[in-house]
Amino acid sequence: MKGLCEVQKNEDQEKEAEATGPQAETLEAKRSWTADSRSALETEGTHGFGEQVMATLYLESCRANSVVPVSCLLRQGSASELNLRHRGLGPQGVRALASVLASNPYIKHLDLRDNGLCGAGAEALADVLSKNSVISDVDLSENQIGAAGLQAICTALALNPTVEKMQLQGNRLEEQAAQHLAALLLHHRGLKSLDLSYNQLNDLAGETLGPAVAENTGLAELNLSWNHLRGLGATAFARGLEANIFLKVLDISHNGFGDSGASAIGDALRVNNVLEELNMRNNRISVSGALKLGLGLQVNQTLRILIISKNPIRSDGCVGLLKSVQNNKSSALELLDVSDIQVSRECEDLASSMNEILPGLCIKRYTSRRNDWPQASTPSQPASAPSDSGL
């Protein structure tokens, strides 16, 4: 069965084949009108007539691309945010939209999440991003753009430093896409936030992204959660973090960093003096990995939030992390999340004592009520359900 993107590609080819004879003349006339309209829009700038020209331009473009106009766009006016998520635009719909966006002087936040853009739609939008100097926030999540579509987007962004935030989650990006992402990280200094969560970036992708992260100058937030970073790829990525001097927020939760990856992150924290928030939830980290991560916590002075919940570090791993923070007189840690990990009485007591020494530190953990601890005098007493709580 053909996928949505492939079917759309065949339809596009058929429409191009039909564009001959009288129809070609009609299309040429429309193109001429479109060029005149765009010129009028640029001349009018932010005046009311410019908004009217944009609406007319969009309607004509929809007719040329045989798509139904999106009514909310006709009412867009001079609003700075355009939200078209879940509209089913497809490649043709984006092509129609592109004629308006290329010279739009108002829209700064563009949300096209879940519109079936595929590679062709991403390429059409890339042309917009290479020309528009106003758009700064773009959401292209859940659009199946693939490696080809990503390459077009990354190339466009390299030409336009205006875009500061890009969301690309859920686009089935695999290791082939990593080289384009690496090029983006190396050449786009204006990008501040990048969301690559819920993709299929694996260990080979990690090996490609690591050196790019090390050389990146500008990115402050990176989300790589729900990917397949593990093994040598996870270690290579962590080494990139060691040399990075801009990244403040990193989410690598729900990957497979394991103990080797946690050890590499620990090494990075020993020298990294910029990172403030780190999410390592559900990464197959055991006791040994937690202890090696703790070596970094003993000297790090900038990390404020560490989430390492839902890892099999057990009580010994929790105790090791707590002691590492306790031994660091310059620690900036404000939140240590070890929830979804059942701990012993020793860990509970250590956490309680640290609350008195470091009142600014919140330890979120799996805990049991005091009367749930086994007591010889009441062996048949039922246990209550565990809950998360902070000290």
Is 74 inside a domain boundary? Answer: no
Q: Are 193 and 169 in contact (CB under 8 A)?
A: no
Is 215 inside a domain boundary? Answer: yes
Q: Is the pLDDT of residue 338 over 80?
A: yes
pLDDT in tens, 347-391: 989 998 988 888 899 999 865 433 333 333 333 333 433 444 333
Is 94 inside a domain boundary? Answer: yes
Q: What is the mean pLDDT of residues 80-105?
A: 93
Band of residue 10 on the pLDDT scale cut at 50, 70, 90: low
Is 221 inside a domain boundary? Answer: yes
Cα gap 230→173, rounded to integer Å: 16
Structural domain harbouring 328: 81-369
Mean pLDDT check: name the lowest of 8-17, 145-154, 171-180, 232-241. Answer: 8-17
Q: Encode 5-73 in three state secondary structure.
A: HHHHHHHHHHHHHHCCCHHHHHHHHHHHHHHHHHHHHHHHCCCHHHHHHHHHHHHHHHHHCCCCCCHHH
Q: Which two tokens stand for residue 213?
A: 């992260």
Cα gap 45→29, rounded to integer Å: 24
Is 55 inside a domain boundary? Answer: no
* Cα first-last separation, the chain: 55
Q: Which two tokens stand for residue 275?
A: 């990172």
In this prediction, residue 75 carries a pLDDT of 85
| HSE-up of residue 255 (Cα within 13 Å, Cβ side) | 36
pLDDT in tens, 235-270: 999 999 999 999 999 999 999 999 999 999 999 999
DSSP-derived 3-state class of residue 293: helix
Higher pLDDT pick, 159 / 372: 159
Q: Are 325 and 354 in contact (CB under 8 A)?
A: yes
Is 7 inside a domain boundary? Answer: no
Is 240 inside a domain boundary? Answer: yes
Cα gap 132→120, rounded to integer Å: 19
Task: Kindly calculate the radius of gyration of the chain based on its CA atoms and give it in whole angstroms.
Answer: 26
Q: How far is CA 30 from CA 33, 125, 276, in A?
A: 5, 20, 53
Q: What is the mean pLDDT of residues 85-94?
A: 96
Q: How far is CA 136 from CA 115, 126, 167, in A?
A: 20, 14, 12
Is 254 inside a domain boundary? Answer: yes
What CATH number does the domain containing 220 carry?
Answer: 3.80.10.10
Work out the burial of residue 45: count CB atoms within 10 Å of its CB; fewer than 13 is exposed, 13-18 middle, 19 or more buried. Answer: exposed
Estimate to the nearest angstrom the gap between the alpha carbon of 63 and the chain centroid. 35
**pTM of the full structure:** 0.83
Higher pLDDT pick, 391 / 187: 187
Q: What is the mean pLDDT of residues 52-67?
A: 90
> How many domains, in total, are found in the chain?
1
Work out the burial of residue 244: count CB atoms within 10 Å of its CB; fewer than 13 is exposed, 13-18 middle, 19 or more buried. Answer: buried
In which residue are the tokens 């007719």 written? 63
Cα gap 202→136, rounded to integer Å: 29
